[in-house]
Amino acid sequence: MPDEPTDKAERVRRVFSRIAPHYDLLNTLMTFGLHRKWRRATLRLAGGMPGDGCGLDLCCGTGDYIREMLVASGGTAHVTGVDFAEPMLELARRRFPREVADGRVKLIQADVTDLSFLPENHFDLVTSGFGLRNVDALSPVLAGSYRVLKPSGLFVSLDVSRPFRWGWAPFSECYLRVIVPALAALIAGGPREYRWLHESLATFPDRRELAGLLEQAGFSMQRQLSYGLGVVAVHVARKAC
């Protein structure tokens, strides 16, 4: 295996490119099948997806949030997915061949810290599922999301977080540091890649800090809640009118 790059963005890109073929199965096993339920629940918190709406999914991976936005809209919304790991996007293209062909789904390989290629005031909803902790810098992602949202548009983040409930931190630490890499080794033969989950969480803002960063970017917080005994945090924030 080649040496790990020192640049965080390049390291993360390589990690997710390697695990792409096993990503969906590992996500399902790691969350006991709950990650899709959580995505659907967060869209309900955001009021769903308008039938004629435009959605943007950051760090879209293989397209789980894209699928949920399409389902919520009755299949008529237009959704753009952005990810910098081409193997992930290739799996998403195979998942939505008809929607890609007719233009309802656009998949773009790019770094979400620079969304200048997207139009201003364009999207009704911006989502990120288990993606923000992997970016090189949060502030430009949040600022870019604010810029591309329509007035009163919503930003939804679903991500791993440090548990705030007393007594659960040791369990979370053991699960992310030991169990997840072991599971990855069993399924994908790559425990090193899934150690990144624990490493990325160590420097990622907790739920209150992330809410503060969203407010600094101009958003007003609408909802904060947690799933999985506090290990997963949800933030719903609105752009000003």
Is 154:124 a contact under the CB 8 Å cutoff? yes
What domains can you pick out in the chain, each with its CATH number? Answer: 8-238 (3.40.50.150)
**pLDDT for 228:** 77
**pLDDT for 77:** 97
**pTM, whole model, 2 decimals?**
0.89
152: left (phi over 0), alpha (psi -120 to 50) or beta: left
**Strand pairing of 220-227 and 149-160?**
unpaired
Q: CA torsion, points 63, 64, 67, 71, in degrees to nearest 10?
A: -170
Considering only residues 82 and 202, tell me which one the structure prediction assigns the higher pLDDT: 82
**pLDDT for 223:** 95
125 half-sphere exposure, CB direction, 13 A CA radius: 32
51: left (phi over 0), alpha (psi -120 to 50) or beta: alpha
Out of 8-17, 148-157, 174-183, 186-195, least confident range: 186-195
Alpha-carbon span 11 to 14, nearest angstrom: 5
pLDDT at residue 109 is higher than 50: yes
Out of 156-170, 183-197, 199-213, least confident range: 183-197
Alpha-carbon span 184 to 194, nearest angstrom: 6
pLDDT in tens, 11-66: 888 888 888 888 898 888 888 888 999 999 999 999 989 889 999 999 999 999 99
Tell me the percentage of the chain whose pLDDT exceeds 70: 83
**pLDDT for 5:** 42
Out of 4-8, 127-131, 137-141, 223-227, least confident range: 4-8
Alpha-carbon span 106 to 132, nearest angstrom: 20
What SS3 class is residue 182?
helix
**pLDDT for 3:** 40
| Average pLDDT in the chain | 88
